[in-house]
Amino acid sequence: MQRIATWAAGAALLCAATGSFAAHHEEKDLKAVAKGWYDAACADLAGFIAYVDKHMADDGVFMPGRYVGLGFTVDNNEGDDFGTVMSVTPGTPAAEVLKAGDQFVSVNGMAMTFANRDKTTFRGKPGEAVKAEIMRDGKKMPVEVNRGIIAAKNSKERVLANLALADADDWPADSCAVTDVIAEGKVVYVTGEWSDTEVETGYTFTQRGISRFEFNDDGKIVEGWNMTEERFVLEQLGYTISR
């Protein structure tokens, strides 16, 4: 009888403690997933793509840093594909005018060439027009797009598609490390610092960043965003901010 009473008391104590144990266990696991995302991004591209596919919810979104521009990515590597539109972000000014495969011939009267890559720009004040000439399906055509504030929400499908366009040979940073991981319920913040080298100049740069991950009940990432030191990077590479 005493053994039964002792077992019952122990079972009650275990049940009472289960909630806090599960919460602590879940928090620990979410921190590990968030840190793992950062660690995978610091390693090889194929491994990072696999990690995103595994840990991002099918209905999840990832929000890159906001900027003033048009809303597309372009091939900046030297070669025949330089200036070719790689992807266009839905819901942005560019989405109404450009499509993947378009190749810029000139931007605001400046020839779009590798030699002019630091002279041609799509940045400027919101509402200002960018006039350009593109090549589409073998024909030249003029286009005009007004700059806007780009605050994209990339779906899992788009995140994976953008990663597929990255250069695997140039993917790993020179150094990369997590500096802190903080959890608040289903939200985890990861801060990190990394350095890399600009291929064309050999200049090295460092930057810090913070990423925020929100998880669903299944432990999948449903929302993420990050902030980095873009201006600091430009200054280390010798660029100036002018109006």
Q: pLDDT, tens digit, for every residue of 143-180? A: 999 999 998 889 999 999 989 988 888 888 899 999 99
The whole-model pTM stands at 0.75
Residue 198: partners with Cβ closer than 8 Å, 6 or more residues away:
204, 205, 237
Q: Which residues pair with 234 in a beta bridge?
A: none
Q: pLDDT, tens digit, for every residue of 186-239? A: 999 999 999 999 887 899 999 999 999 999 999 999 999 999 998 899 999 998
Q: Which of 103, 113, 109, 107 is nearest to 78 (CA)?
A: 113
Give me the domains of the chain, ranges plus CATH numbers. Answer: 18-64+152-236 (3.10.450.50), 67-150 (2.30.42.10)
Residues of 144-163 as b/e, b for ≥16 C-beta within 10 angstroms? ebebbebebebebebbeebb
Task: Say if CB 135 and CB 180 are below 8 A apart.
Answer: no
- Count the helix, strand and coil residues of the chain and give each as a percent rounded to the nearest 5: 30, 35, 35
